[in-house]
């Protein structure tokens, strides 16, 4: 077997099953790791793991360093006696197939507060020392993050640029005053991070012990209402009130004829370059403490990014502006060595973007759902044209599921016409020599048999699910990031079938 060939599954932890409304880092995460190992998979890809804003999008995080408290397993806290078993007995009847974020937060966050109170009351000396050691090791970001979240709660979750001027501007006396006033809340948020990192570290070791490496995501941009922007406004294009003067997005594309208006503040790359991109180096360093391989979101934005004037209602009226290019990645390499990075080089890719990726040696991405168009770009996505140094996906978290892509009649998620989609479906069947009855497995086989060193399959495609299991619809804000699977869906038949294909095509553990 070629040791460079591997495959894995894309599944965010929120999509794991369980009775408490959202997937977490408890027993079901370990069961899924067992499924991966038994199916001869070597990779588990997740989305960003940070705490999210009200959109619940993992690409809109309140911190680039912190973990999402909603992923903390309450059942594990019960086992460790930092919650009572009775606390979970009256849990609401959460839906099994999706996450109701408001209901989950209303149930889970008070219990995390109760767990902190029990820890302060019952923890032994070794446990207290472990918490203190964690806080000390993460102090470079944890102190400010915990203060920021406590301040946000004290201001009814209003954005930081709507706070009183002294704390908005981080005047030292205001920092001291609020730190004293919110001391307990700050300790509670540090405790939550302690529990997240403990639980994730155990799961990571469990995966490593079974030959599974973790792929994680670094979004290129971050949300305005975040600890980072509050702490470092000088690194972003903001006015004197803390509002962005320009924001991020992409021009009209496959997903939207008005483009995608993300609204994230734009970096002052010149300011970041002055200190050798230290913030980015620390961001990568902390991410690699959690995962093994980085999937770098929106790689093309590091060559040129789409800058939109603040106040625009669509992404049409923007302009391409040069990004940091190779200088950023040379600084990261100098500080961290040859760290593994997958470049998410999707969208409007120019020869300059390809040249930057090739210069850096990063594998790019190939998505099978993009392989059957009649344009020249589709040729790059057809497996007979793949380089070995790439990662093939049947689809990503932004795509429909393969069955949804193949069968859905109402095309409300792309700029394609029905005629174009029907043409793509016909070509896909001819290309694969199949009848489409199990098109998800046809795509899986095609990905696994390709020469691409790495193949990643969204779990929805392994399970043969349709559009109802879609994770995200780009350029929309409602109903995303909620999908969950049920435990009984991971059958022995599916495991055996995936294991057989993985072995046949030389990707098995």
| Positions marked catalytic | 297, 344, 398
**Beta bridge mates, 343:** 296
Measured distance CA(501)–CA(450) in Å, rounded? 12
Q: What is the 8-class DSSP label of residue 469? A: G
Contact present, 170 and 143 (Cβ < 8 Å) = no
The alpha-carbon radius of gyration of the chain (Å, integer) is: 23
Measured distance CA(51)–CA(58) in Å, rounded? 7
Measured distance CA(467)–CA(361) in Å, rounded? 35
Contact present, 267 and 248 (Cβ < 8 Å) = no
Name the region of 361 (left: φ>0; alpha: ψ -120 to 50; beta: rest). Answer: left
- Tokens describing residue 249: 């997005």
CA-closest candidate to residue 193, choices 160, 148, 161, 156? 148
The Cβ of residue 263 has, within 10 Å, a number of other Cβ atoms equal to: 17
Measured distance CA(228)–CA(149) in Å, rounded? 12
Q: What is the 8-class DSSP label of residue 302? A: G
How far is C-alpha 353 from the geometric centre of its chain's CA atoms?
22
Q: What is the 8-class DSSP label of residue 254? A: S
H helices within 210-298, ranges in order?
227-231, 269-274, 278-288
Measured distance CA(403)–CA(390) in Å, rounded? 24
The DSSP H or E segment spanning 364 is strand 364-367
Alpha-carbon distances of 287 from 28, 48, 210, 220, rounded to whole Å:
23, 9, 21, 13
């Amino acid at each position: 077997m070629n040791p460079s060939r591997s495959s894995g599954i894309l599944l965010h932890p929120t999509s794991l099953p369980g009775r408490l409304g959202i997937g977490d880092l408890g027993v079901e995460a370990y069961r899924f790791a067992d499924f991966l190992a038994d199916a001869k998979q070597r990779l588990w890809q997740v989305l960003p793991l940070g705490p999210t804003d009200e959109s619940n999008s993992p690409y809109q995080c309140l911190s680039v360093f912190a973990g999402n408290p909603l992923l903390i397993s309450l059942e594990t806290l019960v086992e460790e006696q930092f919650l009572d078993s009775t606390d979970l007995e009256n849990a609401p009847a959460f839906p099994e197939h999706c996450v109701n974020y408001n209901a989950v937060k209303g149930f889970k966050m008070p219990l995390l507060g109760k767990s902190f109170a029990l820890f302060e009351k019952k923890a032994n000396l070794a446990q207290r020392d472990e918490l203190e050691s964690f806080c000390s090791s993460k102090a470079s970001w944890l102190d400010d993050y915990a203060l920021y979240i406590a301040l946000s709660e004290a201001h009814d979750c209003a954005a930081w640029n709507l706070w009183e001027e002294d704390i908005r501007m981080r005047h030292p006396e205001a920092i001291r005053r609020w730190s004293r006033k919110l001391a307990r809340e700050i300790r509670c948020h540090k405790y939550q991070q302690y529990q997240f990192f403990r639980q994730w570290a155990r799961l990571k070791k469990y995966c490593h012990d079974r030959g599974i490496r973790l792929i994680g995501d670094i979004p290129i941009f971050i949300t305005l209402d975040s600890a980072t922007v509050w702490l470092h406004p000088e690194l972003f294009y903001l006015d004197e009130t803390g509002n962005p003067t320009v924001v991020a997005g992409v021009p009209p594309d496959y997903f939207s004829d008005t483009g995608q208006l993300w609204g994230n503040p734009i970096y002052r790359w010149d300011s970041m370059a002055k200190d050798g991109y230290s913030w980015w180096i620390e961001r990568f360093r902390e991410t690699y403490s959690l995962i093994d391989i980085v999937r770098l979101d929106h790689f093309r934005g590091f060559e040129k990014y789409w800058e939109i004037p603040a106040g625009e209602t669509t992404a049409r009226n923007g302009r391409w502006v040069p990004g940091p290019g190779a200088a950023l990645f040379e600084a990261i390499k100098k500080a961290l060595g040859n760290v593994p990075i997958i470049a998410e080089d999707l969208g409007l890719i120019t020869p300059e973007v390809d040249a930057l990726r090739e210069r850096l040696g990063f594998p790019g991405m190939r998505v099978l759902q993009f392989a059957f168009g009649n344009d020249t770009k589709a040729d790059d996505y057809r497996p007979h044209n793949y380089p070995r140094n790439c990662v093939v996906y049947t689809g990503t978290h932004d795509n429909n599921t393969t069955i949804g892509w193949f069968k859905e009649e109402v095309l409300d998620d792309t700029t394609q016409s029905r005629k174009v989609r029907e043409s793509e479906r016909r070509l896909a069947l001819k290309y694969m020599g199949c009848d489409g009855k199990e098109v998800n497995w046809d795509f899986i086989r095609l990905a696994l048999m390709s020469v691409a060193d790495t193949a990643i399959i969204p779990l929805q495609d392994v399970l043969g699910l349709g559009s109802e299991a879609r994770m995200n619809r780009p350029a929309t804000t409602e109903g995303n990031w909620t999908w969950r699977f049920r435990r009984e869906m991971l059958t022995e038949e599916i495991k055996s079938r995936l294991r057989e294909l993985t072995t046949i095509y030389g990707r098995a553990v």
